[in-house]
Structure 1
């Protein structure tokens, strides 16, 4: 059970200066210590984890960040489900086949979906995150918005340390506290992490089998139906009533078939029920999604995220790309293509840093300037038109 900590009036107000922030931080930690220790964590564990700790005020920038650019779904999927990730995922399926077979057998979840979660969440362990969880969560517990939520996650982190599941120096992750190969929040770890490798510890950082098994257990508890599909791409008949669409508006597959909905691959409809999802509106791809899609959605409540995992799992099985074109004349780019854009921008004198395929502020600003200089619409998007213009030497 996650410990919820009461508000500490006065102590938890964001400070105006770094020095004042650090002074308040010590008082805040003292109050947190009392409540967390009362919740069952040893004082020695709390003290060892927070000795000399200073706040990381940069995490508040991430907390309050409002992205200037909204990512179109075709850009999102182009980077998350590219040929590079498909090849890497197939290699992981081979390398970890024994652990995946155990997880699949024990929890009934398709191994391709487990590996797809791994690929989307951390690029198969390449991007786990480097921020110390205790520092990030303690800072977020004392300053900014949603302090109650982050105090619960800090208490859960202390319990993980108290139990010795993960080495303290390896307990790093995202600014918000997600950690491990498949990015569990600490409270989720306490509820659902499993010891698949049988060494007596649940370690989703240094044990890939534990991470894969824990992900399978999460999806199982979220309602995954063994042997079932997440869904599939469909073709809609002319004049279809798009008011019937909606991921949660489930109806029998037979009803969709009577309405003229057909699988894009020409196969027959399975049993069960599904909702119709049109993530880019009526002019883009459409999908019938089942209860298993809802289980994936429960991992991170965003339809684009769940679709990326679902589609990647199909590609890992040997399936092809989404058939229906996205409603854009300016295609999204793979990570290799994004790295190419960044490298060419650097050669033109822009400073976007080491080309890594991640489109951050520097890359967007450089693209926007390049677009203005070349008479293009200024949107800062790493897109096909930008890549083509750079390749053409403009």
Structure 2
């Protein structure tokens, strides 16, 4: 049986916004350097949750979890309403491949990726030799999952997984993650206070959920702990390489690449890609063509390659990427801050458009258009 990492929750995953280990962290996402959790990701009193935890302790004990582990793990934890809200309201908004790659392989991410690759070159090359996975691919996954360790998530994993197990929408799945997390604590790999991650329990530099950690994490440093949370990313990077190797990575084979005769064209009118079986292995990490292309393209850029050669067609609103960048720049110049000009129309740009439309007495639709661009001069 093949085991998948099962991404769910934080960041921009696949072609849409799904949150947590999932695929693509973006500026502004709460993480290890956030300076504090949002109010709804802090424990609040909930008698029903407390009763559920009391009943769960018996099930945990029958799974081999000691009372001392349970006591330590649940000390200071509690119900996190924000986890339930995020789980129930994952947006169905879809990004185009062009937008996805604009974030996945942004100038900032490429620059940080090349710097991180240079800092950890020895480790990455050693992992490439040991597991057969291209060093740039390992680094690119690190970049998409946690922005090279800057956004690992700071939500207590026991609180997050127990809250979602109690909630019940995916109760059996999250109870399994909770049991796995407790076994990780019992094994001594991490302490409860340091076991943090996304709102859905994905952990560390490369966002492993607890069951995947159990199956694939490795102690590459040899200190007796599989520490994917440490400032030193070695164990996390090695665990990712081990994951890919065990899921069928072919040594010496590229992921694929842009090719006019390629058969994969995720966005009509956009670039075509020829892919290899290793493309499918990357999708074992996150089952999305966009994610796998994002990893592969970011890896290529980290390695020194240039941008994609083919262009993308205008979007559904009739705007090219250059048009969207110009729109953002003109809005910001007029005092309607879009939070940057990358050509990706996200929440900040939509709010800026609405504010501008309202100032002109227009319906505040938040929709970009050629007419809107022209009105900005």
Q: Does TM, normalized by the shorter one, top 0.5? A: yes
Q: Does 1:91 align with 2:91?
A: no
Q: CA deviation at 1:54?
A: 2.1
Q: Does 1:45 align with 2:59?
A: no
Q: Does 1:348 align with 2:335?
A: yes
Secondary structure in structure 2 of the residue aligned to 1:87 = helix
Q: For structure 1, list consecutive stretches of 5 or more residues without a partner in the other structure.
A: 3-18, 237-260, 262-275
Q: CA deviation at 1:384?
A: 11
Secondary structure in structure 1 of the residue aligned to 2:258 = strand
Taking the aligned partners of 1:197 and 1:343, their CA distance within structure 2 comes to 51
Aligned to 2:102: 78
Name whichever of 164-173 and 111-120 sits farther off.
Answer: 164-173
Greater C-alpha radius of gyration: 1
Taking the aligned partners of 1:214 and 1:43, their CA distance within structure 2 comes to 29
Secondary structure in structure 1 of the residue aligned to 2:250 = coil
Taking the aligned partners of 1:144 and 1:360, their CA distance within structure 2 comes to 31
Aligned to 1:129: 153
Q: For structure 2, list consecutive stretches of 5 or more residues without a partner in the other structure.
A: 4-42
Taking the aligned partners of 1:122 and 1:152, their CA distance within structure 2 comes to 24
Give aligned pairs, total.
Answer: 328
Taking the aligned partners of 1:309 and 1:108, their CA distance within structure 2 comes to 17
Kept after mapping to 2: 8 A contact 1:366/1:380: no
Aligned to 2:255: 230
Taking the aligned partners of 1:50 and 1:356, their CA distance within structure 2 comes to 44
Q: Give the alignment of 1:98-113 within 5 angstroms.
A: 98-113=122-137
Kept after mapping to 2: 8 A contact 1:90/1:316: yes
Q: Does 1:160 align with 2:184?
A: yes
Aligned to 1:177: 201
Kept after mapping to 2: 8 A contact 1:77/1:308: yes
Q: Does 1:145 align with 2:169?
A: yes
Q: Does 1:116 align with 2:137?
A: no
Aligned pair partner of 1:309 in 267, 274, 295: 295
Q: Give the alignment of 1:267-282 within 5 angstroms.
A: 276-281=263-268
- Cα distance change, pair 346–361 in 1 and its aligned pair in 2 (3 A): farther
Aligned pair partner of 2:319 in 320, 324, 330: 330
Taking the aligned partners of 2:185 and 2:172, their CA distance within structure 1 comes to 20
Kept after mapping to 2: 8 A contact 1:372/1:378: no
Taking the aligned partners of 1:393 and 1:361, their CA distance within structure 2 comes to 19
Secondary structure in structure 2 of the residue aligned to 1:232 = strand
Taking the aligned partners of 1:99 and 1:343, their CA distance within structure 2 comes to 44
Q: CA deviation at 1:346?
A: 10
Q: CA deviation at 1:145?
A: 0.9
Taking the aligned partners of 2:120 and 2:281, their CA distance within structure 1 comes to 23
Taking the aligned partners of 2:209 and 2:235, their CA distance within structure 1 comes to 15
Aligned to 2:305: 319
Secondary structure in structure 1 of the residue aligned to 2:169 = coil
Q: CA deviation at 1:344?
A: 6.6
Give 4+ residue runs of structure 1 displaced > 4 Å after superposition.
340-347, 354-363, 371-381, 383-386
Q: TM-score, normalised by structure 2?
A: 0.77
Taking the aligned partners of 1:317 and 1:366, their CA distance within structure 2 comes to 36
Aligned pair partner of 1:220 in 245, 261, 267: 245
Q: Give the alignment of 1:347-386 within 5 angstroms.
A: 348=335, 361=347, 364-370=350-356, 378-379=365-366
Taking the aligned partners of 2:219 and 2:184, their CA distance within structure 1 comes to 14
Q: CA deviation at 1:320?
A: 1.2
Aligned to 1:10: none
Secondary structure in structure 2 of the residue aligned to 1:40 = coil
- Cα distance change, pair 30–170 in 1 and its aligned pair in 2 (3 A): same
CA RMSD in angstroms, aligned pairs only: 3.4
Q: CA deviation at 1:362?
A: 5.7
Secondary structure in structure 2 of the residue aligned to 1:153 = helix
Q: Give the alignment of 1:281-292 within 5 angstroms.
A: 281=268, 283-292=269-278
Aligned to 2:284: 298
- Cα distance change, pair 360–78 in 1 and its aligned pair in 2 (3 A): closer
Secondary structure in structure 2 of the residue aligned to 1:152 = helix
Q: CA deviation at 1:31?
A: 1.7
Q: Does 1:205 align with 2:192?
A: no
- Cα distance change, pair 393–66 in 1 and its aligned pair in 2 (3 A): same
Kept after mapping to 2: 8 A contact 1:114/1:216: yes
Q: CA deviation at 1:292?
A: 0.4
